[in-house]
Amino acid sequence: MSKIEIYTTIACPYCMRAVQLLSSKTVLFEEIDVTFNSIKRQSMSRRANGQTSVPQIFVNNNHIGGCDDLFRLDQAGHLDKLLSIAS
């Protein structure tokens, strides 16, 4: 089964926006909170080609990027197709 993963921290407004957008698409996704977990944050950074900011979003293990990248995909009309492949 394909999956959508989003790495977040608490009180991050960009994380909240990205989660809200994904939720509005009614797709299942796994939210991975890295706030107090340096091991998960290091794993996220490795997967995201060294990126340390949150959120970091993956669809089918492909790095999508952060919040702005997710919204750009949506505005360009590509997000729904990408998420339908993953759901």
Angstrom distances, CA of residue 12 to CA of 7, 15, 16, 58, 80: 11, 5, 6, 18, 24
pLDDT tens, position by position, 4-58: 999 999 999 999 999 999 999 989 999 999 999 999 999 999 999 999 999 999 9
Beta strands across the sheet bearing 56-59: 30-33, 4-8, 56-59, 62-65
Residue 3 confidence (pLDDT): 86
Q: Where are the domains of the chain?
A: 4-86
* Cβ atoms of residues 31 and 40 within 8 Å: no
Q: Is residue 1 very low, low, confident or very high in pLDDT (cuts 50, 70, 90)?
A: very low
| 65 DSSP β-pair partners | 57
The fold of 4-86 is Glutaredoxin (3.40.30)
- Between 48 and 1, name the one with better pLDDT: 48
